[in-house]
Chains A and B, each alone.
Chain A
Amino acid sequence: MSRLIVRIALDRIVTALIAIAVALAAIPVLVLLLFVVIKGLPGMLAPGFFTQSFHPYGIPGGGVLNAIVGTVEIVGIASVIAVPVGSMVGIFLSEYGRNSLGNTVRFVSDVLTGLPSIAFGIFAYTILVATLGHFSAISASVALAVLMLPVILRATETAMILVPHSLREAGLALGAPRWRVTLEVVVPAALGGIVTGALLAMARAAGETAPLLFTALGNDYLQLDPLRPMGALALTVYRNALLPYTSLQDQAWAAALLLVLIVGLTNVLARIYVRRIQR
């Protein structure tokens, strides 16, 4: 009888521990989000925040229009590079890569995730900026694309592996060639996970600063040419949050809040999409 009591007691303790863990996990999340919202709201409500580009200190108004467009363009180009390549590698790993080549690729990808993000910027700088003689948005996109690849590839592989073998075999049994089975049967079944991975990678890329410092450089003017320097929200936050001028600080915090909102929106859209796919 006492053994039962011990077991029940343990159960209660573990439940309590889990509850504590949940509370501890929730606290930094809530506090941080609150922090960003409180510090970011004033700047966001300032006139011209969304419609004007950067004004230096002393000139009233000013906003992050150039940075918003910059982030969208830079992350957009990065995604166009990283998503097809990353998902292809993920497909490779799940369908063709249960061998030592696949293991090597997996290992390399894991190591890449551990490198400081500044290393990706230096890498892109060496191959695209120093060689061409000028900073450009596209070099930033390349740096971000390499940063995004491991995440997309791992998410794709995981999603593809989770698709039951029976689906593949059914397709093959019907006489379809392997590539069609993969593309037209397995990938759609795994699409939810692939899309989530892509969206998470894009969200991370949008918030990265260090890879942009020596590639996109930053630009106070709104410009769309990918071969020239470009601004970005993450750069605005990094460069202005620690200035002694409150108006620019407010702008930096508002930019940070905007980034969080964009990512939040992306997350919500991803979940809705996945749920629709699974219907």
Chain B
Amino acid sequence: MSRGIAEKVVPAPLVGNRQRRSNVGDRIFGGLAYGAGFLILLIALVFLLALIIPAVPSITRFGLSFIVGRVWDPVHLQFGALPAIYGTLVTSAVGLIIAFPIGVGAAIFLAQENGMRVIRGPMSFAIELLAAIPSVVIGLFAFFILTPIMRTNVDPFLNHVLGFLPLFSGSASGYGYLTAGVVLAVMVLPILTALSRDVIATVPRSLREASLALGATRAETIWSVIIPYARVGVTGAVLLSLGRALGETIAVTMVIGNSPSIKASLFSLGYTLPSVIANEFTEAVGKVYQGALFELALILAVITIIVNVLARLLIWRFTKGEPVSA
């Protein structure tokens, strides 16, 4: 058994019986620990099977055309997931693009140790509270309050200023990709901010103070000291947030418009993978229809896996394999 640096300095105590007994304890504990690890893998495997097996009738029937098909017609049993995949990626991207600067900016503020405690304390608390609000409530909030605001104020403004871009062209109903993206931003903000705040708080005070002592401005300290140190942890926070954004169902369903189409404008109505599943799962009859919905869940799992792999590659490149901080 490894005792780290101690091994080199202090020789192992020569206590025969106790050592043998402690070996047993170690073995049991180690066994439990490894067992727990394997349990997670087992759960994930069962999960995967629970998704794959019912999806087989749909996979065998539609093959690859399922992923690129654009028509979702339950009556004629024609299913294509492309609009939903597109919607999921677009809304998650919009959500993260909005949440990232706000979350990291707020995290930098919340992680500092001096000054403005009156604001920092309640705000930290409030943001964590936000994480607890059920997504149904956020969906209802978005439905009743956010959509009118988007329709009458935000969307026309964006159209006016940036309407030359295909992203912001066309008329706005208040529903659609952009509104869904905003809702997702609100939902991932707590995770992103809280986790980033915790990571930034671990940047050693001495480093920050050294930078300031050398004459760097606060902005330069942030750029040259805090960001590189916290880069890995913040990426992890972004990953977790992306996971939540990809899988968010109820809140998005209420504002995305539930229309299986692919359009360039962020004002247009769309669909996401979880929304289709949530909308139609309870009423789907027949192995092929149900299989199609399970296949959507499978595609979502695959997208999540791909995103996670990419992010890990990114982290690995940053740190050359050696994890710097959690």
Q: Which residues of A approach B to under 8 Å, CB–CB?
A: 7-8, 10-11, 13-15, 17-22, 24-26, 28-33, 35-36, 85, 88-89, 91-93, 95-97, 101-102, 104-105, 107-119, 122-123, 126-127, 146, 149, 153, 157-158, 161-162, 165, 168-169, 172-173, 175-180, 182-183, 200, 203-204, 206-210, 213, 234, 237-238, 241-242, 256, 259-260, 263-264, 267-268
B205 sits at the interface (CB 8 A): no
**Closest residue to B305 on the A side, CB-wise?**
A111
Interface string of B2-43 (1 = CB under 8 A from A): 011110011001010010001101101110111011011101
B71 sits at the interface (CB 8 A): no
- Asked if B134 and A234 make an inter-chain contact with CB atoms under 8 angstroms apart, the answer reads yes
**Assembled-state Cα–Cα distance A26/B103 (Å):** 10
The interface residues of chain A, by DSSP majority, are classed as helix
**Assembled-state Cα–Cα distance A158/B194 (Å):** 14
B164 sits at the interface (CB 8 A): no
Query: Shortest CB–CB separation between residue B28 and chain A, in angstroms?
Result: 7
Query: Shortest CB–CB separation between residue B73 and chain A, in angstroms?
Result: 22
B326 sits at the interface (CB 8 A): yes
B300 sits at the interface (CB 8 A): yes
Q: Which residues of B contact A115 (CB under 8 A)?
A: 47, 247, 297, 300-301, 304
**Assembled-state Cα–Cα distance A204/B130 (Å):** 11
- Asked if B43 and A146 make an inter-chain contact with CB atoms under 8 angstroms apart, the answer reads yes
**Assembled-state Cα–Cα distance A177/B248 (Å):** 45
**Closest residue to B24 on the A side, CB-wise?**
A177
B159 sits at the interface (CB 8 A): no
- Asked if A267 and B274 make an inter-chain contact with CB atoms under 8 angstroms apart, the answer reads no
Number of A-B pairs whose CB atoms are under 8 Å? Answer: 275
- Asked if B5 and A204 make an inter-chain contact with CB atoms under 8 angstroms apart, the answer reads no
Instruction: Tell which of B29, B40, B109, B131 touches A109, judged by Cβ atoms closer than 8 Å.
Output: B40
B225 sits at the interface (CB 8 A): no
Q: Which residues of B contact A206 (CB under 8 A)?
A: 132
Instruction: Tell which of A95, A123, A169, A260 touches B132, judged by Cβ atoms closer than 8 Å.
Output: A260
Q: Which residues of B approach A to under 8 Å, CB–CB?
A: 1, 3-6, 9-10, 13, 15, 18, 22-23, 25-26, 28-30, 32-34, 36-37, 39-41, 43-44, 46-47, 50-51, 101-106, 108-110, 119, 123, 125-138, 140-141, 145, 186, 189, 193, 202, 217-220, 222, 239-240, 242-244, 246-250, 273-274, 277-278, 281-282, 297, 300-301, 304-305, 307-308, 312, 326
**Assembled-state Cα–Cα distance A7/B217 (Å):** 7
- Asked if A28 and B189 make an inter-chain contact with CB atoms under 8 angstroms apart, the answer reads yes
- Asked if A29 and B129 make an inter-chain contact with CB atoms under 8 angstroms apart, the answer reads yes
Query: Shortest CB–CB separation between residue B187 and chain A, in angstroms?
Result: 9
Please provide the 5 A-B residue pairs with the shortest distance between their CB atoms, ordered closest to farther.
Answer: A21-B105, A177-B22, A114-B243, A263-B132, A114-B304
- Asked if B29 and A105 make an inter-chain contact with CB atoms under 8 angstroms apart, the answer reads no
- Asked if B274 and A102 make an inter-chain contact with CB atoms under 8 angstroms apart, the answer reads no
- Asked if B36 and A85 make an inter-chain contact with CB atoms under 8 angstroms apart, the answer reads yes
Q: A96-B34, A116-B248, A259-B132 are in contact. Are A32 and B186 (CB under 8 A)?
A: yes
Q: A118-B274, A162-B326 are in contact. Are A95 and B33 (CB under 8 A)?
A: yes
Q: Which residues of A contact B305 (CB under 8 A)?
A: 111
- Asked if B130 and A32 make an inter-chain contact with CB atoms under 8 angstroms apart, the answer reads yes
Q: A89-B36, A110-B240, A209-B135 are in contact. Are A179 and B26 (CB under 8 A)?
A: yes
**Closest residue to B296 on the A side, CB-wise?**
A116
- Asked if B105 and A20 make an inter-chain contact with CB atoms under 8 angstroms apart, the answer reads yes
Q: Which residues of A contact B249 (CB under 8 A)?
A: 116-118, 210
Instruction: Tell which of A33, A178, A209 touches B1, judged by Cβ atoms closer than 8 Å.
Output: A178
Query: Shortest CB–CB separation between residue A114 and chain B, in angstroms?
Result: 3
- Asked if B242 and A92 make an inter-chain contact with CB atoms under 8 angstroms apart, the answer reads no
- Asked if A256 and B219 make an inter-chain contact with CB atoms under 8 angstroms apart, the answer reads no
Query: Shortest CB–CB separation between residue A141 and chain B, in angstroms?
Result: 14
Query: Shortest CB–CB separation between residue B322 and chain A, in angstroms?
Result: 11
- Asked if B326 and A208 make an inter-chain contact with CB atoms under 8 angstroms apart, the answer reads no
**Assembled-state Cα–Cα distance A179/B32 (Å):** 11
- Asked if B50 and A122 make an inter-chain contact with CB atoms under 8 angstroms apart, the answer reads yes
Chosen A-B contacts, 21 in total, with CB atoms closer than 8 Å, are: A8-B217, A10-B220, A15-B219, A17-B105, A21-B103, A22-B105, A25-B105, A92-B37, A110-B240, A113-B244, A114-B301, A116-B300, A117-B247, A118-B277, A146-B43, A153-B40, A177-B1, A177-B22, A203-B132, A207-B132, A267-B132
**Assembled-state Cα–Cα distance A203/B33 (Å):** 26
Q: A28-B130, A110-B308, A173-B3 are in contact. Are A123 and B50 (CB under 8 A)?
A: yes
Q: A29-B126, A241-B140 are in contact. Are A10 and B219 (CB under 8 A)?
A: yes
**Closest residue to A241 on the B side, CB-wise?**
B140
Q: Which residues of A contact B109 (CB under 8 A)?
A: 18-19, 21-22
Q: A116-B274, A172-B4, A204-B131 are in contact. Are A25 and B308 (CB under 8 A)?
A: no
Instruction: Tell which of B10, B33, B123, B186 touches A92, judged by Cβ atoms closer than 8 Å.
Output: B33
**Assembled-state Cα–Cα distance A123/B39 (Å):** 16
Instruction: Tell which of A105, A162, A180, A238 touches B136, judged by Cβ atoms closer than 8 Å.
Output: A238
**Closest residue to B294 on the A side, CB-wise?**
A122
- Asked if B304 and A29 make an inter-chain contact with CB atoms under 8 angstroms apart, the answer reads no
